[in-house]
């Protein structure tokens, strides 16, 4: 076995925080596939596997390189069909794309605005230069200006999870009775928020918090292995 | 064959408008099951099948009564497994619940605020009394006050479809290459808006409009059989 997952970290390699990489960590655990996680700094990504990728996650599965979290999940289900499914059939594969799109458009933009300054402060100097430049271009303002509206973003955050909260009235996971990759998609977003900003900023008795805690418990508590900031 | 779908209408029985009933119309068409649609006014619902239900849709499938749109879809897939699937497996069944929750919490509340006065104006007098009382209690204000903020709600509406818009970059339907019940869930919401308020209030070249048009084309244009208001 030679299976390596390249992920993302700041100054501390023991604290990987990328939402997309966490999706893959959970997917590999779900399939019961042993792997070594190798977190890298933003500016070290172009050096991975001799320049194989501009982004992480990148999976090296016995020499086969696969990037993009959703593509990696599809690859794992196709390559290891005898292990627990990540999608539960073709319909689940398609609808996981809707969950991904919800997470990207509704949650990621909010989390970026809440945590961008926190992320800046936990990465190395070279990464900070790259990160500030690229994020300020994307957000259209200085990071400090984004951070000034942080409390407002935090107040508005719980309402953005209303679709998940409503769904949790009828089943414990997006995958139904148990988790599927769609759960790991939303988990990845909240785990990114928790690790970088110290909290999911949800009430402890919020059904979404209870679901997130269930996800943290999965796979021998893999998600809990990195504490909140 | 004796298959009847009780649905909802205003003064004109040829213009059924309930989102939940439209989901079931499309589900029955998807399964290729012949049926007679019997639209009823709000205040006539308690008389259906000798008091069998407080809400529509209600399906009478050869004497078997089934209510609730999602439960009807599950019933159809279980009872007619040899016809085209509505869910595409167990994962799709579970994730359709997430799509339903998104539609209910994000779209339905907005559509209610846009179309509530339109709906009031197309229903019979007895229905108007019931409708005004129940909706004003739910919304916490007179219908006219809700209607006064209509333009604002319409302006905010396209952004609420961003998850679907993003997903449409990778596939033409929520079900993937073709539609599944999850598509009919969101279709039902936009069809309700279109029939009662005259428009989906989206730009014609919006990817969501193009998807909605594809849905209107399905099953011999069943959705188009009722024109916009």
CATH, range A90-225: 1.20.1050.10
| DSSP-based three-state secondary structure for B36 | strand
Q: Which helix (H) or strand (E) holds B41?
A: none
Q: What is the pLDDT of residues A53-94, one digit of tens each?
A: 999 999 999 999 999 999 999 999 999 999 999 999 999 999
Q: Which helix (H) or strand (E) holds B88?
A: none
> Of B56, B63, B65, which is closest to residue B25 (Cα–Cα)?
B56
CB atoms within 10 A of CB A93: 26
Q: Where are the domains of chain A?
A: 3-79, 90-225
Pair A49, A19: CB distance under 8 Å:
no
Q: Is the dihedral of CA B200, B201, B204, B207 positive or negative?
A: negative
CATH fold match for the domains A3-79 and A90-225: no
Q: Which of B165, B170, B182 sits opposite A95 (nearest CB)?
A: B182
Pair A40, A9: CB distance under 8 Å:
yes
DSSP string, B125-163: HHHHHHHHHHHHHHHTS-HHHHHHTHHHHHHHHHHHTHH
In chain A, beta strands by DSSP E: 3-8, 36-40, 58-61, 64-67
| DSSP-based three-state secondary structure for A185 | helix
Q: What is the pLDDT of residues B33-72, one digit of tens each?
A: 999 999 999 999 999 999 999 999 999 999 999 999 999 9
Q: How many CA atoms lie within 13 A of A38 on its CB side?
A: 14
Q: What is the pLDDT of residues A113-133, one digit of tens each?
A: 999 999 999 999 999 999 999
pLDDT confidence bin for B1, thresholds 50/70/90: low
If phi > 0 it is left, if psi is from -120 to 50 it is alpha, else beta; for residue A192 that is: alpha
User: By the CB < 8 Å criterion, does B185 face chain A?
Assistant: no
- What is the percent of chain B with per-residue pLDDT over 90, rounded to a whole number? 99
Cβ-defined contact of A102 to B163 (cutoff 8 Å): yes
CB atoms within 10 A of CB B79: 14
Backbone angles phi, psi at A56, to 5 degrees: -115, 155
- What is the percent of chain A with per-residue pLDDT over 70, rounded to a whole number? 100
Say whether domain A3-79 belongs to CATH 3.40.30.10: yes
Cβ-defined contact of A98 to B180 (cutoff 8 Å): no
Q: Across all residues in chain B, what is the average pLDDT?
A: 97
CB contact residues (below 8 A), chain B span 154-173, against chain A: 162-167, 170-171, 173
Cβ-defined contact of A99 to B97 (cutoff 8 Å): no
User: By the CB < 8 Å criterion, does B74 face chain A?
Assistant: no
State the Cα–Cα distance between residues B116 and B141, nearest whole angstrom: 12
- What is the percent of chain B with per-residue pLDDT over 70, rounded to a whole number? 100
* Residue of chain B whose alpha carbon sits nearest to that of A106: B163
Pair B16, B37: CB distance under 8 Å:
yes
State the Cα–Cα distance between residues A122 and A143, nearest whole angstrom: 14
State the Cα–Cα distance between residues B26 and B201, nearest whole angstrom: 22
State the Cα–Cα distance between residues B121 and A191, nearest whole angstrom: 48
State the Cα–Cα distance between residues B170 and A117, nearest whole angstrom: 32
> For residue A229, what pLDDT is reported?
73
pLDDT at A163 over 90: yes
Helices in B10-124 by DSSP H: which ranges? Answer: 19-31, 69-79, 90-102, 109-121
Q: What is the pLDDT of residues B200-212, one digit of tens each?
A: 999 999 999 999 9
> Of B24, B217, B20, which is closest to residue B103 (Cα–Cα)?
B20
pLDDT confidence bin for A1, thresholds 50/70/90: low
pLDDT confidence bin for B32, thresholds 50/70/90: very high
State the Cα–Cα distance between residues A214 and A175, nearest whole angstrom: 13
If phi > 0 it is left, if psi is from -120 to 50 it is alpha, else beta; for residue B119 that is: alpha
What tokens were used for B40? 């009823």
pLDDT at B229 over 90: no
State the Cα–Cα distance between residues A35 and A56, nearest whole angstrom: 15
B127-132 CB contacts, 8 Å cutoff, 24+ apart: B127/B10, B127/B41, B127/B42, B127/B43, B130/B42, B130/B43, B131/B42
Q: What is the pLDDT of residues B127-184, one digit of tens each?
A: 999 999 999 999 999 999 999 999 999 999 999 999 999 999 999 999 999 999 999 9
Cβ-defined contact of A166 to B101 (cutoff 8 Å): yes
* Residues of chain B positioned with their CB less than 8 A from the CB of A104: 166
Tally of helices (H runs) and strands (E runs) in chain B: 10, 4
Q: Which of A94, A99, A162 sits opposite B176 (nearest CB)?
A: A94
User: By the CB < 8 Å criterion, does B95 face chain A?
Assistant: yes
């Amino acid at each position: 076995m030679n299976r390596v997952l390249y992920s993302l970290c700041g100054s501390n390699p023991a604290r990987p925080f990328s939402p997309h990489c966490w999706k893959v960590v959970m997917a590999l655990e779900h399939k019961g596939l042993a792997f070594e996680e190798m977190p890298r700094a933003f500016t070290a990504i172009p050096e991975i596997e001799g320049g194989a990728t501009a982004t992480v996650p990148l999976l090296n599965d016995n020499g086969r390189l696969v990037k993009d979290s959703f593509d990696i999940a599809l690859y794992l289900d196709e390559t290891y069909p005898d292990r627990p499914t990540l999608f539960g059939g073709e319909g689940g594969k398609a609808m996981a794309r809707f969950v991904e799109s919800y997470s990207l458009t509704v949650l990621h933009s909010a989390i970026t605005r809440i945590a961008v300054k926190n992320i800046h402060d936990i990465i190395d100097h070279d990464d900070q230069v790259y990160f500030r430049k690229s994020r300020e271009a994307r957000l259209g303002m200085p990071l400090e200006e984004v951070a000034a509206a942080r409390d407002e973003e935090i107040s508005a955050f719980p309402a953005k999870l209303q679709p998940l909260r409503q769904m949790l009235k009828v089943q414990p996971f997006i995958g139904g009775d148990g988790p599927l990759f769609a759960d790991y998609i939303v988990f990845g977003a909240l785990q990114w928020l928790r690790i970088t900003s110290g909290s999911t900023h949800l009430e402890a008795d919020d059904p979404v918090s209870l679901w997130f805690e269930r996800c943290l418990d999965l796979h021998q508590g893999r998600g809990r292995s990195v504490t909140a900031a």
